[in-house]
Amino acid sequence: MSEQTDSESRKLLGRLRDAMASDIAGQARLDEITKLIADSMGTEVCSIYLFRDEETLELCATQGLNKQAVHQTRMRLGEGLVGRVAQKGRVINAADAPQARGFRFMPETGEEIYSSFLGIPVQRLGEKLGVLVVQSKSKREYSADEVYALEVVAMVLAEMAELGAFVGEGAALSARHQQSVLIRGTTGQEGSAQGHVWLHEPRVVVSNPIADDPERELARLHEAVEDLRVGVDKMLRASEGGDGEQLKVLEAYRMFANSKGWMRRMEEDISLGLSAEAAVEKEQSVARARLEQVQDAYLRERLSDLDDLSNRLLRLLTGQGAETGAEMPADPILVARNIGPAELLEYGRSLKAVVLENGSVGSHAAIVARALAIPLVVHAERITTEALTGDHIMVDGDQGIVHLRPDDTVVSAFREKIAMQAQAQERYASIRDKPAVTRCGQTISLHMNAGLMADLPSLAGSGAEGVGLFRTELQFLVRNQMPRRGELSGIYARVLDAAQGKRVVFRTLDIGSDKVLPYMKPNDEPNPALGWRAIRVGLDKPGVMRMQLQALIRAANGRPLTVMFPFVAQFDEYRRARAEVDKAIAREDKLGHVLPSSLEIGAMLETPSLAFAPPKFFQEVDFLSIGGNDLKQFFFAADRENERVRRRYDTLNVSFLTFIERIVERCVATDTPLSFCGEDAGRPVEAMCFAAIGIRTLSMRPASIGPVKSLLRRANLDDLRKIISDARHRGDQSVRPVVMEWLRAQG
Catalytic positions: 364, 677
Please check whether residue 338 is in contact with residue 359, taking contact to mean a CB–CB distance below 8 angstroms.
yes
Among 389, 272, 413, 235, CA closest to 322: 389
Cβ atoms of 188 and 378 within 8 Å: the answer is yes
How many Cβ atoms from other residues are within 10 Å of residue 572's Cβ?
12
Residues 365, 345: Cα–Cα separation, whole Å: 9
How would you write 239-290 as a 3-class SS string?
HCCCCHHHHHHHHHHHHHHCCHHHHHHHHHHHHCCECHHHHHHHHHHHHHHH
DSSP readout, 471-492? Answer: ETTHHHHTSSSPPPHHHHHHHH
Instruction: Please tell me the distance from the alpha carbon of residue 302 to that of residue 290, in angstroms, as a whole number.
Output: 11
Is residue 13 within 8 A of residue 270, CB to CB? The reply is no
CA atoms lying within 13 Å on the CB side of residue 358: 8
Task: Give the residue from 351, 33, 81 showing the smallest Cα distance to 198.
Answer: 351
CA triplet 158, 122, 317: central angle to 5 degrees? 40
End-to-end CA, the chain: 76
Is residue 357 within 8 A of residue 377, CB to CB? The reply is: no
How far apart, in whole angstroms, are the C-alpha atoms of residue 361 and residue 373?
14
Strand 45-53's sheet: what is its strand order?
74-76, 56-63, 45-53, 127-136, 116-124, 92-94
CA–CA distance, 9 with 548 (Å, rounded to integer): 66
| Cβ atoms of 496 and 477 closer than 8 Å | no
- For 466, which DSSP code? E
- What is the per-residue burial (b if ≥16 Cβ within 10 Å, else e) of 219-257? ebbeebbeebeeebeeeeeeeeeebeeeeebbebbbebb
CB 549 within 8 A of CB 511: no
556 CB-side CA count, 13 A = 25
Q: Indicate the length of the chain as a whole number.
A: 747
8 Å CB contact between 533 and 569: no
